[in-house]
Structure 1
Amino acid sequence: MRKNNQYIHKGKAFEVGQNYLCRQPKAKLITLCVVLTKKEVMAARKPTSTNNRNREALDNFCGLTYAMNLLGGRWKLLILHKLEPQKRRFSELKKTLPHITDRMLTLQLRELERDGLISRTVFAEVPPRVEYDLSANGRALSPIWKGLETWGDAHRQTAEPITALVTTTDG
């Protein structure tokens, strides 16, 4: 149960961000835990997950795998591409990427900011205004996604006749 910025569990009140000792009866351990909001829990990956273990192992493998870990996924390069011409607010980005959910956009923006590819500026206004912009590291990627866009356009043109040929011979 939640009250303001407190969570009530078994009659005890805990503040968000507060450390406390928690018991894990199956392992017979007492560990230091921290109270998280539901949003923080949903956004976090378990440190012991296969995804995190593979990411840590491959980060040092070569520069390509490191870059793919930073830029991998459906949305990150598109977000960077949309931020290239100008700073944008969340709602402006959402309009340029109509099929992305609010939650996914939020998660991707947080990851890009954490990785130093974008900067987030919060203005002390009511209502609060937040703008996203490419950082120097993000701008350095511009020739790469422009090259990928050129390649994608050329490949799509060569792949369309093949796709049309396969569909006409199947029927």
Structure 2
Amino acid sequence: MVLYRPRAENYYEAIRHLKLFDSTVDMNKYIIDYHNLYNFLTGPNKVSPLRGGDEEIQDTRSGWLHSRYIMLGNTPLGIFDSETLRCVQKPRLRIEEDYQNGLNCQFTLLDSTYIFFLGIDQWTNTTQCTGYNIKDMQHKIFRKDNLAINRTTFLQLLHQFIADRAIKKIQADEKAAQLHNKPKH
């Protein structure tokens, strides 16, 4: 899975626009389409003018430990990381409408199945996005209030959750392996 965030005014604004891709080819297609760079494509095979930066960055705030700038010539368009989650399969997200004009999505990530809902909370009459692990529907694992009920907002929240959950799981697994392999005195 490839993590991508566009260049933005600050880190938090960039993370709000996080995108997930299956491959760097898919990421490049998105960036070319988003920035309308079709006129810059060259050659008969339409070679992409985008390239990864030369220097790897370790971003400990987000857990992206193998980040690089995605460049158009000398201009950075954003930051991507194709290594941190390389062994994680990007879940297929099928967003469906429910009978109350809300949205829901069920997906599997790292051997756990989650379900998310975005709609109007019947008790408070405000919009709310909530997420649950299917094995424990009694406890919310995600909640965000006062959101627009649309697919773009919902997909953005799902991408943020997936990236955060996958990074935390991989980091926990790495720490457990280090502790297991640590010599005992």
Shorter-normalised TM-score: what interval? Answer: under 0.3
Higher-helix-fraction structure? 1
TM-score calculated relative to the size of structure 1? 0.26
Higher RCO, 1 or 2 (CA under 8 Å, sep at least 6)? 2
TM-score calculated relative to the size of structure 2? 0.25
